[in-house]
C-alpha cells in the first residue's frame, strides 16, 4: 500500500489513525516540527485560486483526508485506507492525552467558546493536560507567539478558519515551540457542545448536508460552489486522467 497518493495534484497521506498517532508521538519525542493539514472539498477548491495555500499544502508534513477525499480517491482508483479528518484526529489526541506526553494549547474561536470548550474537555477527557488557551481575535502575532511559547505545550490546535489558520501555523512554524500543530476549523464549537458532530451514519457522503442544515446562512454558498466543483474535478480525473 502506498504511504502517499496523488489526489488531484496533491499528495495525501494514506495512513490509519494509529499510524498518524505514531508519527505525532515520534515528532514530539524528536522535537521535529509537524504541521498537519486536513484536506476536504473546500480546500481543493481554494487551492486552485490561492497559490500561498497551495504551497502550504505541498510543504506540510502531514495531509489527512476528510471523507470527501476518501470518496474521491475510490472514484479515481487510488483508494485511501481510512477517513481520518481534523475533528476525528483531534478527538483521538484528546483521548490519548492522559497516557501520552501531550500538552495542548488551544487557539481560536470566540472567548466564550474556547473557555467553554476547555472546561468541557477537562471533564470529558480526565487527565488531559491543557497548557493554555486564548481566543482567535488578535492583531499582534508576535505577542500571541510569545504567549504560546511561555507554556509547555507540544501540540497547538488552531481554530482560526481556512486559510488563516494554515497561514499562521506555516509562517510561524519555526518560531513556535509546540512540535505538532494543526488547523481544526470549527471543531472548538463541537467540543464545546455548541454544535453537533455529524452522526456516523451520515459521514459517508452526507456530512456536508448535515452541517448545512445546522448553519445554512453561512454555509450554503460555500457548499453550492465547492461541492459541484469537487465532483467535477474527481469525475474529470476519472475519465480523462487530469
Tens digits of residue pLDDT in 4-59: 899 998 899 999 999 999 999 999 999 999 999 999 999 999 998 999 999 999 99
What's the whole-number mean pLDDT along residues 107-114?
97
What's the whole-number mean pLDDT along residues 189-216?
67
Average pLDDT, the chain: 91
What's the whole-number mean pLDDT along residues 183-191?
95
Distance CA(213)–CA(29), nearest Å, equals 42
47, part of any domain: yes
10-13 and 4-7 strand pairing: antiparallel
220, part of any domain: no
Name the residue with higher pLDDT: 83 or 2: 83
What's the whole-number mean pLDDT along residues 198-220?
59
165, part of any domain: yes
Residues 6+ apart with CB under 8 A from 66: 38, 39, 40, 41, 83, 85, 86, 207
pLDDT at 224 over 80: no
81, part of any domain: yes
The total domain count for the chain is 1
pLDDT at 203 over 60: no
Convert 55-75 to b/e letters by CB count within 10 Å (16 or more is b): ebbeebbbbbbbbbbbbbbee
Q: Which pLDDT value is given to residue 220?
A: 57
Q: Which pLDDT value is given to residue 215?
A: 65
| Residues of the chain above pLDDT 70, percent | 88
The domain of 174 spans 30-187
Q: Which pLDDT value is given to residue 196?
A: 61
Q: Which pLDDT value is given to residue 242?
A: 84
Q: Half-sphere exposure of 70 toward its Cβ, with a 13 Å CA cutoff? A: 18
83, part of any domain: yes
91, part of any domain: yes
pLDDT at 206 over 60: no
Instruction: Tell me the sheet residues that pair with 155.
Output: 104, 180
Residue 208 — very low, low, confident or very high, per pLDDT cuts 50/70/90? low
CATH number at residue 45: 3.40.50
Q: Which of 144, 198, 208, 202 is nearest to 171 (CA)?
A: 144
Distance CA(189)–CA(171), nearest Å, equals 25
Q: Which of 50, 13, 16 is nearest to 34 (CA)?
A: 13
Three-state DSSP class for residue 5: strand
CA distances from 46 to 162, 184, 197 (A): 9, 16, 24
3, part of any domain: no
214, part of any domain: no
Alpha-carbon torsion, ordered 65, 69, 71, 76, to 10 deg: -120
Q: Which pLDDT value is given to residue 218?
A: 64
Amino acid at each position: 500500500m502506498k504511504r502517499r497518493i496523488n489526489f488531484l495534484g496533491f499528495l495525501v497521506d494514506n495512513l490509519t489513525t494509529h499510524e498518524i498517532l505514531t508519527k505525532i508521538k515520534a515528532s514530539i519525542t524528536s522535537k521535529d516540527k509537524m504541521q498537519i493539514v486536513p484536506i476536504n472539498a473546500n480546500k481543493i477548491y481554494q487551492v486552485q485560486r490561492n497559490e500561498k495555500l497551495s504551497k502550504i499544502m505541498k510543504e506540510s508534513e502531514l495531509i489527512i483526508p476528510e471523507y470527501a477525499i476518501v470518496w474521491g480517491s475510490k472514484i479515481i482508483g487510488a483508494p485511501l485506507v481510512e477517513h481520518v479528518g481534523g475533528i476525528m484526529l483531534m478527538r483521538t489526541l484528546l483521548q490519548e492525552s492522559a497516557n501520552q506526553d501531550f500538552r495542548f494549547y488551544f487557539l481560536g474561536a470566540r472567548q466564550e467558546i474556547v473557555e467553554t470548550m476547555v472546561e468541557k474537555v477537562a471533564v470529558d477527557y480526565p487527565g488531559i493536560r491543557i497548557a493554555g488557551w486564548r481566543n482567535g481575535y488578535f492583531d499582534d502575532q508576535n505577542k500571541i507567539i510569545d504567549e504560546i511559547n511561555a507554556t509547555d505545550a507540544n501540540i497547538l490546535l488552531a481554530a482560526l478558519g481556512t486559510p488563516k489558520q494554515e497561514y499562521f501555523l506555516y509562517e510561524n512554524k519555526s518560531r513556535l515551540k509546540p512540535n505538532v500543530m494543526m488547523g481544526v476549523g470549527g471543531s472548538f464549537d463541537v467540543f464545546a457542545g455548541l454544535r453537533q458532530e455529524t452522526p456516523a451514519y451520515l459521514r459517508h457522503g452526507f456530512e456536508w448536508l448535515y452541517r448545512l442544515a445546522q448553519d445554512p446562512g453561512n454555509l450554503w454558498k460555500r457548499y453550492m460552489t465547492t461541492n459541484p466543483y469537487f465532483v467535477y474535478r474527481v469525475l474529470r480525473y476519472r475519465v480523462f486522467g487530469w
